[in-house]
Structure formats: C-alpha cells, structure tokens
Amino acid sequence: MFDVYLNQKRDLLVVKQGSSIPLGGASGKWRKRKRRVASVSDEIKSTVQRLGYYMRKRTELKTTRII
C-alpha cells in the first residue's frame, strides 16, 4: 500500500505506507489524501522502490492540444 500526498500546487508525492516525507526530494507543505492507494503503475512502483518516493509536478501532466 502507498500513501499519497498533494501540495498547494496539486503536485503528487507517493511514498510507501508509513514512510515519512523525504526532505531532499520534496519541499513545501504536503497534505495526505484520506484514502490509501493499494496499487500504482509500474513506473511509480519502481521509482518508490529505488528512491523511496515518487514525485510528479502538475505541469508535467499538461499535454499540448492539437487543433
């Protein structure tokens, strides 16, 4: 299971359940989502195993619009 945090900019931080928020990789005020997440994508899972956390900025989610 994983804990999911969001900050004021709606950036995403995923850590293993019970782990603390990493100091070096994630700055700012984070608030925990009330629901736990049982499964995540393989990309997020491998990054959490390697680094201990996964962080994605909201700006990375935006896609270009084709007219």
Task: Write out 5-59 in H/E/C secondary structure.
Answer: EEECCCCEEEEECCCCCCCCCCCCCEEECCCCECCCCHHHHHHHHHHCEEEECHH
What is the mean pLDDT of the segment spanning 2-17? 88
CA atoms within 13 A on the CB side of 37: 16
Distances in Å between the Cα of 57 and the Cα atoms of 7, 49, 66, 67 are 10, 19, 22, 25
Q: Average pLDDT of 7-24?
A: 84
> Band of the pLDDT at 26, cuts 50, 70, 90?
low
